[in-house]
Amino acid sequence: MARGGFGQGEFNKLTIEDIDIKGKRVFIRVDFNVPLDENLMITDDRRIRSALPTINYAIDEGARVILGSHLGRPKGKPEPKLSLAPVARRLQRLLNKEVQFLHDITGPLVKEAVTKMRPGDVILLENLRFDPGEEGNDDNFARELASMADVYVNDAFGAAHRAHASVVGVAKYIPGVAGFLLRKEVGYLKGVVSNPVRPFVAILGGAKVSGKIGVLENLMDKVDKVIVGGGMAFTFIKAMGYEVGDSLVENDMLDLAERIRTNLIKNNVKFYLPVDCVVAHSIEPQAETKLVTTQEIPKGWRALDIGPASVRLFSEALENAKTVIWNGPMGVFEMDAFSRGTFAVARAVADAYALTIVGGGDTDLAVHRAGVSDSISFISTGGGASLELLEGKELVGLAVLKDR
């Protein structure tokens, strides 16, 4: 079972608790970007549940609650398949109270509905990205959103790194504060990097080195061990001069990968790469697979998962860890044939007697599929946003909120 006596990092922004919202119109930017199946049914509602503490607090305080979120990538025009209608139904069930869903985002119908609100009422606007002004951070669109409320609350950690109208623009016109989820996410991720209990281990996976370079550079003098798996491992392995067959490699990153590896080792950071892997000719469930060492991947084959010796190596590296951050899977875990490595690492992280933090959409899905999510100390709701924090960057959606 995961443990960890841990004080969350310094959070220097005002939160919804710090201001008077009684009777006020409160626009809460939430992240309801949930997965839907082909019948438009929600397959995982964790992001909706994560926002409940902030929404319930606003309701209990007698605020008039207006919720805004995006869903998917509709490219600035209405797309029926990406409507927030199913989200409104699920939210109504979770809150156990009526949620008025509006098929518009701005305009006379929305204004009228907001005017009629009573304390404790909840409105959910249609998908903000149906309007091109959202992703374009259009000033007029931001002003329209702001005009319906007295206070702005950002509780959408998953979108806090996006310079969009509902994330940064609205805060130009009405006072902006953080919700509970945003505070918790930033507190955990910033706190763990600035003040980890040691040994501190970072596990990085996923397809590409380029997406994790900033994290590796920022953590270089902070971590004790770095474990690299997933497709990105093979850029490091090729940079060391080994044959990697048809495995995913970023050839323009080879020199940088080798430089990072040598710098980490110079800094006395223990650096782990897979020693064996599961290879196939193609990424297909029925493809023939075989187990080889990472130094002997045959031409025409590609590595799609880490092997059992790598699992053992990584698990042993985690045994004495006191703080673990994991971002990115160890292979193509969505297919059974290539899921064992990721699930085994998920179990090793869950078994670590440590503060364990999992970030990134793919990684949190892996942890849930492995059935160990209850044993992880903290699962982040944001992939890109958590990576930017781990890189030491300031999130644009946080920067615009009122300082404490």
For the chain, which residues score pLDDT lower than 50?
A: 1-8
Residue 40 lies in a domain: yes
d(CA 157, CA 141) in angstroms, rounded, equals 21
> Is position 7 within any domain?
no
Question: What residues act catalytically?
Answer: 47, 208, 361, 384
Residues 193 and 99 in one domain: no
Does residue 308 sit in the same domain as residue 274?
yes
Q: Of 174, 206, 227, which one is at a domain's C-terminal end?
A: 174
- pLDDT tens-digit map of 188-214: 888 888 889 999 999 999 988 888 989
Decide: 277 and 306 in contact? Cβ < 8 Å.
yes
- Assign residue 62 the CATH number of its domain: 3.40.50.1260
pLDDT at residue 9, rounded to an integer: 54
Total of domains in the chain: 2
pLDDT score at 258 = 96
pTM of the model: 0.89
In sequence order, the 6+-apart residues with CB closer than 8 A to the CB of 345 are 203, 229, 306, 311, 314, 315, 326, 330
Q: Do 282 and 378 fall within a single domain?
A: yes
Same domain, 161 and 202: no
Note whether residue 4 is domain-resident: no
Tell me: do 112 and 205 sit in the same domain.
no
Q: How many CB atoms lie within 10 A of CB 374?
A: 11
Are 364 and 358 contacting, i.e. CB atoms less than 8 angstroms apart?
yes
Would 113 be classed as within a structural domain? yes
Domain, as residue range, for 34: 20-174
Claim to verify: residue 132 and residue 57 sit in the same structural domain: yes
Q: Are residues 78 and 190 in the same domain?
A: no
Kindly state whether residue 397 falls inside one of the protein's structural domains: no
Query: Which among 403, 397, 401, 378 has a CA at the least distance from the CA of 187?
Result: 378
Residue 119 identity (one-letter amino acid) = P
pLDDT, residue 69, reads 98
Flag whether 395 is in a domain: no
In a domain, 244, yes or no: yes
Query: For residue 218, is it within any domain?
Result: yes
Tell me, yes or no, whether 304 and 228 share the same domain. Answer: yes
* Angle made by CA atoms 31, 32, 34, in degrees to the nearest 5: 125
- Burial of 312-329, coded b for 16+ CB within 10 Å and e otherwise, reads ebbbebbeebbbbbbbbb
